[in-house]
Amino acid sequence: MTARAPPAPRHSRAGIVSKLTIGPGPASPRTRRFGIVSKLTIAVFGVLAAVRTGRADGPAASPGSLRDEDILGRATPTFRVDSVTTRLTSFNQYGSGYQAQGGPTPSSPGNERATILEPQVEIDASQGPRLSHRFWVPVDVVTNASADAIDVMTSASRHVESGAIDWAAKYKVDADSDVTVRSGIHLENPFRSWTAGLAWSRALADGDTVVSASTLEVFDWFDRFDIHGGRHGRTDRTTTTVSAGVTQILTPTTIANVNYGITMQRGEMGNTWNSVPLEGNVRGPELLPSERLRHALVLRAAQFLPWNGALHVYYRLYADDWGTVAHSAEAELLQRVSPALTLGALYRIHRQSGVDFFTTLADPSAPLRTSDSDLAPFDSQTFGGKVVVDAPMRGEIRALHLELGYERYFRTNDLHIDVFTCATGYRF
Amino acid sequence: MTARAFAACMVAALLVGCATVPQNRRGHLADPMMTLSEEPLDSARRQKMYDTREGAAGGDGANAGGGCGCQ
């Protein structure tokens, strides 16, 4: 997305003049004088052109040693915006869950209806030949959440806004390796979150193999409520993720990636206002462990198809020490219909076992309990499609990217989400 | 048994990768359709939906949220 197209070839004046004066003329004194003048003119323009070229592009490359800047133009040390992308997504969620209050009885599931509008902006910029930046600003506007609930978020969650700023700076150490530093902050009504990360990657075997490693630290700081709406100060949670991966070119049309990561969490693991139906037709607070260790193994592969298409497959195996084991598999088919138009179709299936202490009716003396439907055993599926237009442009904007997509997510424990998304991108 | 078969597939896939593909035969791999990582904003909005609605987030570089998956 940030690759720069080669600029228009630069025609030196010397070259043009040379072409105009190719071939011997009649040998008259006048023409001989003209010939001398023209030769001087050629020489002067030649020197000027050489100086100008030298200032712009540096020394001319020797034959057989073409450099990147000879094709792409010299990277300037000044800040340069390479692309701007915006995306607007709406999530319309319908369903019910036992963690929410507001059902007909205390032991009944509550309404999980929610509408979320999520605008995002991403700016890619470069600063010289080695340093590039990515700025990402997502905003969430949640409306109509838990409108029938009587829990603490009854009024607050009817309209909640949150935003984040994320900055990643990538430094190209040499031709084969780079280091990325990431930092961010997330702001929400009763919630603050800080993110810091470091990533490294290195290409091996002439670019056939890329090994990578990353670490990410997240610190969450948020209000603690009880299930009746009482506020009890603040609490926090830390999340540390370490991951490593290998990307390998398998054939001229196949590329694959394997990634393994481990996440360690400590602190308050719930949102603090989730409730659990208890025996005796009453509700009590959710009780969760204070630590969680998560493992994830991800396999990705992309296969180019002879009819100008591509097939992407994805598999993820997840396990944690709360007893959840999950398998997610996904396939996406992309088909280029014309040079500018691409169609895509997607299917995903997810199966999770749920945590060991999930219940819809808990013993009041149980040390751990949750009724969160997101932690229950269930299967989910996603169907989706998209239309993508990538049109080359002239002028300052070199390419325009447009995308429209729709997805439907539904799962076996009474929840489904309709997702509409559209994106525009400008590459400079 | 399933784990062994899975490990065997992984090793086979990596061994296949030992055959170097010359740069002049990587034209199809340079096609934008072949990019393994999704467009970042598209990936972010999908990741967020799955992270908040499924209790299986984390481990792969994404924000893991809490027990409920809330961010």
For A238-247, A265-274, A326-335, which range has the lowest pLDDT when averaged over its residues? A265-274
| This prediction's pTM | 0.79
pLDDT at position B64 is 54
CB A275 within 8 A of CB A369: no
pLDDT at position A167 is 96
- Tell me if B54 and A250 make a contact (CB, 8 A cut-off): no
Q: In the structure encoding, which two tokens stand for residue A34, read together?
A: 């003209």
Q: In the structure encoding, which two tokens stand for residue A326, read together?
A: 């999950």
- Say how far apart CA A235 and CA A221 lie, in whole Å: 6
Q: How far is CA A1 from its chain centroid?
A: 12
Q: Which CATH architecture fits A75-427?
A: Beta Barrel (2.40)
Q: Which residue has the tokens 């605008």?
A: A119
Segment A210-232 shows an average pLDDT of 89
Q: In the structure encoding, which two tokens stand for residue A38, read together?
A: 């023209």
Segment A271-298 shows an average pLDDT of 90
The alpha carbon dihedral of A33, A34, A40, A43 has a sign of negative
Most confident of A67-71, A149-153, A242-246, A272-276: A242-246
Segment B6-10 shows an average pLDDT of 70
The pLDDT of residue A41 is above 60 = no
Contacts of A415 in chain B (CB under 8 A): 53
Contacts of B50 in chain A (CB under 8 A): 328, 350
pLDDT at position A304 is 96
Provide the residue ranges of all domains of chain A, joining segments of one domain with +.
Answer: 13-71, 75-427
Contacts of B39 in chain A (CB under 8 A): 1, 85, 403, 423
At A49, is the secondary structure helix, strand, or coil? helix
The pLDDT tens digits for A325-384 are 999 999 999 999 999 999 999 999 999 999 999 999 999 999 999 998 889 999 999 999
- Tell me if A350 and B54 make a contact (CB, 8 A cut-off): yes
Mean pLDDT (chain A, rounded): 82
pLDDT at position A112 is 81
- Tell me if A268 and B32 make a contact (CB, 8 A cut-off): no
pLDDT at position A244 is 95
The pLDDT of residue A317 is above 90 = yes
Confidence class of residue A8 from pLDDT cuts 50, 70 and 90?
very low
Amino acid letter for position A46: G
The pLDDT of residue A34 is above 70 = no
- Tell me if B49 and A220 make a contact (CB, 8 A cut-off): no
CB B13 within 8 A of CB A256: yes
The percentage of chain A sitting over the pLDDT mark of 90, rounded to a whole number, equals 57
At A43, is the secondary structure helix, strand, or coil? helix
Contacts of A248 in chain B (CB under 8 A): 13-14, 17
- Tell me if A310 and B34 make a contact (CB, 8 A cut-off): yes
Cβ neighbours, 10 Å, residue B8: 10
